[in-house]
Chain A
Amino acid sequence: EVQLLESGGGLVQPGGSLRLSCAASGFTFSSYAMSWVRQAPGKGLEWVSVISGSGGVTYYADSVKGRFTISRDNSKNTLYLQMNSLRAEDTAVYYCAKEAVVLVVTDSPFDYWGQGTLVTVSS
């Protein structure tokens, strides 16, 4: 059974940093690209970033480019999102999501999602 478990969310001041983790199990982690998707309170879904299965290819939404860094440790089956220079508009539930198609970075749907972790940016 595929499981994705996010952690690391919490309250942080504007300008601060936070690192999210997503522990994966139930599939060959290194074979699949992984994304982070966020949802501000009462709002829609927003794609944040994707990383290839090997970790060598990454892409970001313009809204987070230069501030967020996606990475993965395939030996630990864990995905990360390092978030720096946080702003109030980064407040959201952050989901990690597994891409459905093996060895593809983009152009694949997300077939499994974690339960999400809430990040609140406020003074």
Chain B
Amino acid sequence: SYELIQPPSVSVSPGQTANITCSGDKLGDKYACWYQQKPGQSPVLVIYQDNKRPSGIPERFSGSNSGNTATLTISGTQAMDEADYYCQAWDSTTGVFGTGTKVTVL
């Protein structure tokens, strides 16, 4: 079955840039999206179709996808960005989520 692998954790200082990777076989041939989930809350879509931001998502969130890796970049990270982040793609008729990355803003 198709797998999407993310680093378990990423630490970043306020104002700095956080890069979260998502690795999967030929992931660049698929659309990748990213969700943010804060404790006790439902996931929120922050990036779709590799690099598009839904309405209301700050410009500091951006994405890319090429080869076997999709990347979510948070520029000028703020304390409010501390959360779990999940990548997601479709492998034919199956939805697949990444393993998740906890972003800590130190």
Query: Which residues from chain A sit less than 8 Å from chain B, CB to CB?
Result: 35, 37, 44-47, 50, 59, 61-62, 95, 100, 105-111, 113-116
Contacts A106-B90, A107-B90, A109-B48; is A46 near B97 (CB within 8 Å)?
Answer: yes
Is A113 touching B43 in the complex (CB atoms < 8 A)? yes
Contacts A45-B86, A62-B1; is A110 near B97 (CB within 8 Å)?
Answer: no
Chain B residues whose CB sits within 8 angstroms of the CB of A50 once the complex forms: 93, 95
| Residues 58-106 (chain B) with a chain A CB within 8 angstroms | 84, 86, 88, 90, 92-100
Chain B residues whose CB sits within 8 angstroms of the CB of A37 once the complex forms: 43, 95, 97
Query: Which residues from chain B sit less than 8 Å from chain A, CB to CB?
Result: 1, 30-31, 33, 35, 37, 42-45, 48-49, 54, 84, 86, 88, 90, 92-100
Q: Least Cβ distance of B24 to chain A in Å? A: 14
Smallest CB gap from B99: residue in A: A44
Q: Least Cβ distance of B93 to chain A in Å? A: 4
Query: Considering the chains assembled together, what is the distance between the CA atoms of A72 and B9 in angstroms?
Result: 38
4 pairs of A and B residues whose beta carbons are closest in the complex: A47-B95, A109-B33, A109-B48, A113-B42
Query: Considering the chains assembled together, what is the distance between the CA atoms of A109 and B95 in angstroms?
Result: 10
Q: Least Cβ distance of A67 to chain B in Å? A: 16
Q: Least Cβ distance of A114 to chain B in Å? A: 7
Contacts A44-B97, A47-B95, A47-B97; is A109 near B43 (CB within 8 Å)?
Answer: no
